[in-house]
Amino acid sequence: MIELPPFLIFFAAGVVAAVSPNIIRAALTVLVPAVSGLLLFNTDLGNYVSYQIFDYQGELYRLDELSRLFGYLFHIAAFIGGVYALHIKDRVQQISVFFYAGSALGAVMAGDLVTLFVFWEIAAISSVALIWARRTMRSYHSGMRYLIIQIASGILLLIGCVMLLGSGGEATFGYIGTDSLAGWLILAAFGIKAAFPFVHSWLTDSYPEATPTGTVFLSAFTTKLAIYALARGYPGTELLVYIGMMMTAFPIFYAVIENDLRRVLGYSMINQLGFMVCGIGIGTELAINGAVAHAFNDVIFKGLLFMSMGAVLHMTGKMNGSDLGGLYKSMPITTTLCIVGAASISAFPLFSGFVSKSMVMSAALSEDYLGVWLVLLFASAGVFHHAGIKIPYFAFFAHDSGIRTTEPPSNMLLAMAIAACLCIGIGCFPQYLYALLPCDTGYWPFDATHVIAQVQILFFSALAFVWLQLKGIYPPELRSVNLDVEWVYRRFVPRIWVGIRAWFARSMYSIMNVTTLILTWIHDHVTHHYGPKGTLSRSWSTGSMMLWVLVLLGSYLLLYFV
């Protein structure tokens, strides 16, 4: 079998799609992930493609247990997303998907930091097209903010790489750590893409503004690429335990009050990323396995939820919970598939989220992170609240909005069905996923303690939701835009900038006035003395001049003889 780097296949398909009719582009979106995935499946572990530029030795294609797992994941995501997007005829979206998926695959299989940086930036540039492809002013501005933040991540990564290599560090992309400034800069670059607290709002800002199909691809690649990078470069970094703990908790409060259901899923994604980051920070074999397994499952069940909400948006043109409800009557298949995704993200036993999330929580307990475990427990109940219940309830049940439509196109239903089958299949037969994980820990999720504890969490979380609804305490779905950290650069900084511009304009006006007064005085003074009628410019009579000559000569003689 040819050891061909998968990114080359995707990039070549992107070039072909640029000059091909729609039917060819649509076929490629399904065939390319299938063919490339088959090639990857038949490729043995090892280093295959290297290059040298002057004294720098790089590895373009490195395949080990970790990169192979994410390679499989990204091929599955690209295939499901391709099926979901078969109905679109947008050349921009179809081309950008190939370069986006290809760059993500190139990054996870990069063996050195410079190669990682190149694919890191290609992913940022190609993915923004999926936001702009919606062609609204909101998507344009959101895409600009997204691009600026993603490019900033790349700049930090480049500076860190240069500093690391300049200090004699290894070019190979392996464990980096935080023993140097370069390590901290690279961690910051990874953290931006992983949606760390205070740099997370690009996710909830941009993903809801993308096209219905574009959001599915965005949810699969960017953040999971960051999780891969953290697992490769910073396993066992204790700071990540507490960062991940924060990530699991704070999005719950924003998701509960959010009206835009795709934005709710954005906060839910940050919540799930927190479990992965926490597992990487714990750093044990069980924790790393849990983090990467949960990343694998999250792409599928979160993709299923985004696909179901994309189907609702595609058929109704609405995405706010306050505008929806009662859609189960006209979209029963979509409703059922959405519930499967909701059960998976909520970690119901026999669904995919349960077999991976429990690994991280077990690792936290075994390493005596009791406080962290309690926060993760709270976060598990919270995600059932806002993603497991709120998403399907307000979209398909709740009040009857009066909207009557039909099921989405058959290709969208097929993509959702594939994802739903994977959610159930992995949940019922986790051993096949466990066989792909980097470490062999012998973990098995279906013991009485895990099952009973998780069922209790879900039961009491559902009971709390029902009680809050009956009492009228649950936050209502308001037609508003909720801002969190992004308020700083979407509201505060623009206001400060407007104030600075106004102050500068007033200052310049005052300076111009003062300057005008000074120049006017100088002009009048010069004119008075040197103008045509000035003291020093007017004509003198000959007699007067002779008189002054005599006076000066007499004064000189007087001074000379005295």
Quickly list DSSP for 104-155. Answer: HHHHHT--BHHHHHHHHHHHHHHHHHHHHTT-SHHHHHHHHHHHHHHHHHHH
pLDDT value of position 533: 63
Q: How far apart are CA 4 and CA 60, in angstroms?
A: 11
Q: How confident is the model at residue 535 (pLDDT cuts 50, 70, 90)?
A: low
Whether pLDDT at 56 is above 90: no
Q: How far apart are CA 207 and CA 194, in angstroms?
A: 14
pLDDT value of position 322: 85
Q: What is the mean pLDDT of the chain?
A: 89
**Quick check: 306 and 338 in contact, CB under 8 A?**
no
pLDDT value of position 461: 81
Q: How far apart are CA 556 and CA 562, in angstroms?
A: 10
Q: How far apart are CA 78 and CA 34, in angstroms?
A: 9
φ, ψ of residue 8 in degrees (nearest 5): -65, -35
Whether pLDDT at 548 is above 70: yes
Q: Which two tokens stand for residue 390?
A: 């709120």
Q: pLDDT tens for residues 171-194?
A: 889 999 999 999 999 999 999 999
**Quick check: 28 and 86 in contact, CB under 8 A?**
no
**Of 352, 350, 345, 349, nearest in space to 379 by CA:** 345
pLDDT value of position 24: 94
pLDDT value of position 262: 93
**Of 300, 277, 283, nearest in space to 220 by CA:** 300
Q: How far apart are CA 110 and CA 232, in angstroms?
A: 11
Range with the poorest average pLDDT among 228-237, 269-278, 527-536 = 527-536
pLDDT value of position 382: 87
φ, ψ of residue 538 in degrees (nearest 5): -75, 160
pLDDT value of position 554: 85
Whether pLDDT at 1 is above 60: no
| 354 torsion bin: left (phi>0), alpha (psi -120 to 50), beta (else) | alpha
DSSP state for residue 347 in the 8-state scheme? T
**Quick check: 390 and 308 in contact, CB under 8 A?**
no
Beta bridge partners of 49: 61
Q: What is the CA 101 to chain-centroid distance, rounded? A: 15
Q: How far apart are CA 244 and CA 372, in angstroms?
A: 9
Q: Which two tokens stand for residue 227?
A: 């999780």
- How far are the Cα atoms of 68, 349, 427, 436 from residue 430, in angstroms, in the given order? 18, 11, 6, 10
pLDDT value of position 411: 95
Q: How far apart are CA 363 and CA 365, in angstroms?
A: 5
The end-to-end CA distance of the chain, in Å, is 119
Instruction: For the chain, give the number of residues.
Output: 562
Q: Name the residue type at position 137.
A: M
Q: How large is the angle between the packed helices 332-345 and 410-428, nearest 10 degrees?
A: 30
Q: How far apart are CA 437 and CA 68, in angstroms?
A: 9
Q: How far apart are CA 58 and CA 33, in angstroms?
A: 26
Beta bridge partners of 52: 57
Where do we find the tokens 């493609």? 49
Q: pLDDT tens for residues 467-491?
A: 777 777 776 666 666 777 777 767 7
DSSP state for residue 43 in the 8-state scheme? P
